[in-house]
Amino acid sequence: MRKIKELVIERALLFSALITIAVTVGIILTLSIEAVKFFGEVSIIDFFTDPEWTPLFTNKHFGIMSLLSGTLLTSFIAIAFALPVGLSISIYLSEYAPRSFRRTIKPLLELLAAVPTVVYGFFALMVVTPFLQTIIPGLSSFNSLSAGIVMGIMIIPYISSLSEDALHAVPNTLREAAYGMGSTRLQNSFKVIVPAASSGIIVSIILAISRAIGETMIVAIAAGQQPRLTFDPTVPVETITAYIVQVSLGDVQHDSLEYKTIFAAGITLFVFTFLLNTISYRIRKKFQEKYE
Amino acid sequence: MNNIRKNRLKDQAFKIWGIFCTLLGLVLLAIFIGNILIDGILRIDWAFIVNLPSRHAEESGIYTALMGSIWVLLLTTLIALPVGIAAAIYLEEYSKKNKLSTILEVNISNLAGVPSIIYGLLGLEVFVRILEMGASVLAGSCTLALLILPIVIVSTREAIKAVPKSIRDASFAMGASKWQTVYHQLLPASFGGILTGIILALSRAVGETAPLIVIGALAYVPFAPSSPMDEFSVLPIQIFNWITRPQHGFVENAAAAIIILLLITFVMNGIAVYFRNKWQKKFK
């Protein structure tokens, strides 16, 4: 009797674990089925080469490049802002700061990632853009610069926390050796500790990039809704995610071409983040073995 | 001699830069919260909480959105909690190192990195269309439950892993079965850690906007939901809707609603940190 009960429970637990696989299969199936239908109507060559994306107009164009450029531009600005700041924070906290300071500041920094993104969107549109407009006169009220910077603020803790964990995990013997040779904390940090923790730092950066690419509300609110193939940070653009939101807000008929476009856009986004996540997972696994 | 001086100087310079960077994010957050408070604090009164949404900014309230958020939060917890904890127990205590466990592990780590809007597309196709739930509270909760599932699993595993092996050994030595050990020893011992993870996951869910917009949650609903099959709005969607309206009164509304949303998020995070600290002391 007891054996049967144990077996039933084990099966139930296994079933719960298998649900996670069903989710992945569900995502891949959903996206690809609708995307295949989409590519039945739109040529895949146009999808990748057409410079315009205007599925909601009468003169329809389906070039993902203009959405992709918006996504990459805002993500690039975000990383350009968050990487130096986040990395400096992690080095400071791990190698310079007193332990009590680190313990209080880390949860506070993580609050930055806990703030809902719609709130950041408000910040970008109502505070940062008007402020930037006083410095850059030609700045449009929807632009990728402001959205990118605010997204950068949001992902600072992704880089600082994970990198700090990696730096902190470097064995103390390395530090003692460097200090014994007479190096300063700065030399020790950049010549010994950062190289030793490089894989962990790279993982944190990749995760931050993947987070930036998939970020939706900040760009939907502050970057605009005009897909265009540009790398000018002062004009309105549209990201893949913002396009999906734009279509979802309207009244779109199921099985219409517009409906399928959000899945075609979605699968492009999914492929990108999936690749980034897989790479970071591989590096993380290798990294774990190194210190065990 | 000169070189040493120069190196020391650089060292000090980096220290100051490090402090600057550390405070930068926090100062920006503080400026932002200050701004929001100035814009919105005067707008918050009892009427703002209990009023229905309206075309007139001054009469608008967050009642339906707040109730929608509470409904979604409760249902999401009901769905994600048992599944997440059960999956974590399986992975941590039952599964052997084989191909299946590797696949499960890689898969969960990947799911945690899938953008939330993709979950929205999944929910739209599976829950709203195929299972015919419509843009209901239930469909929204199922979508968010899948979204936070990886977070719940990972944090629950960490909590269970932290229970000392001696407790397992003692339980087995008393003749307890595996499930008895899990149920009577490991779960109570890791309760604080599991709770921390779940509260953090839920604080993420309460701020999610994009996936719910994708499944078709509305910006305007005239009534608070009264059953899982009702249409709904949530606080972040209400905020988004107000932000995108040009009239000034709605900006004030958005700021006021943001204060409420931030309050909910920060309180949840605070509770989670409190439990984490309390629980960490237990094993030290």
pLDDT (tens digit per residue) in B220-230? 777 888 888 88
Report pLDDT for A42: 87
Q: Do B103 and A21 touch (CB under 8 A)?
A: yes
Q: Do B28 and A185 touch (CB under 8 A)?
A: no
- With cut-offs at 50, 70 and 90, classify the pLDDT of residue B138: very high
3-state secondary structure of A121: helix
A137 and chain B in contact, CB less than 8 A:
no
A197 and chain B in contact, CB less than 8 A:
no
Residues B29, B30, B35, CA angle at the centre, nearest 5°? 100
Q: Out of A26, A88, A263, whose CB is closest to B21?
A: A88
Residue ranges in A115-231 assigned as alpha helix (H): 117-123, 129-135, 144-168, 172-180, 185-188, 194-196, 198-214, 217-222
In the stretch 42-101 of chain A, residues with CB closer than 8 A to chain B read: 84-86, 88-89, 91-93, 96-97
Distance from CA of B104 to the nearest CA of A (A): 7
Report pLDDT for A288: 65
What span, in angstroms and rounded, lies between the C-alpha atoms of B78 and B82? 7
The model's pLDDT over B173-210, given as tens digits with 9 standing for 90+, comes to: 998 989 999 999 999 989 888 998 999 999 999 999 99
Distance from CA of A92 to the nearest CA of B (A): 5
For residue A62, give the DSSP letter: B
CA Rg, chain A, in Å?
Answer: 23
The count of other CB atoms within 10 Å of the CB of residue A201 is 24
ipTM of the complex: 0.91
Whether residue B278 contacts residue B192, with contact meaning beta carbons closer than 8 Å, is answered with yes
Instruction: Output the average pLDDT for chain B.
Output: 89
What span, in angstroms and rounded, lies between the C-alpha atoms of A122 and A146? 11
* Cα dihedral sign, A54-A59-A62-A68: negative
Q: Out of B32, B122, B239, whose CB is closest to A127?
A: B32
Report pLDDT for B118: 96
Q: Out of A34, A119, A277, whose CB is closest to B258?
A: A119
Name the burial class of residue A199, with classes exposed (0-12), middle (13-18) and buried (19+) by CB atoms within 10 angstroms of its CB: middle
How many residue contacts between A and B have a Cβ separation below 8 Å? 256
Whether residue B104 contacts residue A9, with contact meaning beta carbons closer than 8 Å, is answered with no
3-state secondary structure of B136: strand
Distance between start and end Cα atoms, chain B: 47
A224 and chain B in contact, CB less than 8 A:
no
What are φ and ψ of residue A170, in 5° steps? -65, 130
Report pLDDT for A292: 45
What span, in angstroms and rounded, lies between the C-alpha atoms of A57 and B26? 43
A222 and chain B in contact, CB less than 8 A:
no
Report pLDDT for B145: 96
Mutation for testing the B interface, residue in A10, A13, A33, A207 having most B CBs under 10 Å: A13
For residue B39, give the DSSP letter: H
Whether residue A70 contacts residue A223, with contact meaning beta carbons closer than 8 Å, is answered with yes
Distance from CA of B179 to the nearest CA of A (A): 6
Q: Out of B28, B107, B204, whose CB is closest to A24?
A: B107
Measured torsion, CA atoms of residues A84, A85, A90, A92, in degrees rounded to the nearest 10: 100
What span, in angstroms and rounded, lies between the C-alpha atoms of A157 and A105? 11
A8 and chain B in contact, CB less than 8 A:
no
* Per-residue pLDDT of chain A in tens (292 residues, 90 and over written 9): 778 888 999 999 999 999 999 999 999 999 999 999 999 888 888 888 888 888 888 788 888 899 999 999 999 999 999 999 999 999 999 999 998 988 888 888 888 888 999 999 999 999 999 999 999 888 888 999 999 999 999 999 999 999 999 998 899 999 999 999 888 899 999 999 999 998 889 999 999 999 999 999 999 999 988 888 888 888 999 999 999 999 998 877 777 888 889 999 999 999 999 999 989 888 888 776 555 4
Whether residue A208 contacts residue A159, with contact meaning beta carbons closer than 8 Å, is answered with yes
Distance from CA of B47 to the nearest CA of A (A): 22
For residue A57, give the DSSP letter: S
- With cut-offs at 50, 70 and 90, classify the pLDDT of residue B4: confident
Name the burial class of residue B232, with classes exposed (0-12), middle (13-18) and buried (19+) by CB atoms within 10 angstroms of its CB: buried
Contacts of B118 in chain A (CB under 8 A): 27, 31, 214, 266, 269-270, 273
Q: B58 pLDDT exceeds 80?
A: no
Average pLDDT, integer, range B246-269:
89
Q: Do B117 and A125 touch (CB under 8 A)?
A: no
What span, in angstroms and rounded, lies between the C-alpha atoms of B218 and B140? 11
Distance from CA of A213 to the nearest CA of B (A): 8
Report pLDDT for A54: 85
What span, in angstroms and rounded, lies between the C-alpha atoms of B196 and A256? 44
Residue ranges in chain B assigned as alpha helix (H): 2-40, 46-50, 63-89, 99-112, 116-123, 137-161, 165-173, 178-181, 187-189, 191-207, 210-215, 235-243, 248-282
A288 and chain B in contact, CB less than 8 A:
no
Name the burial class of residue B148, with classes exposed (0-12), middle (13-18) and buried (19+) by CB atoms within 10 angstroms of its CB: buried
Whether residue A97 contacts residue A88, with contact meaning beta carbons closer than 8 Å, is answered with no
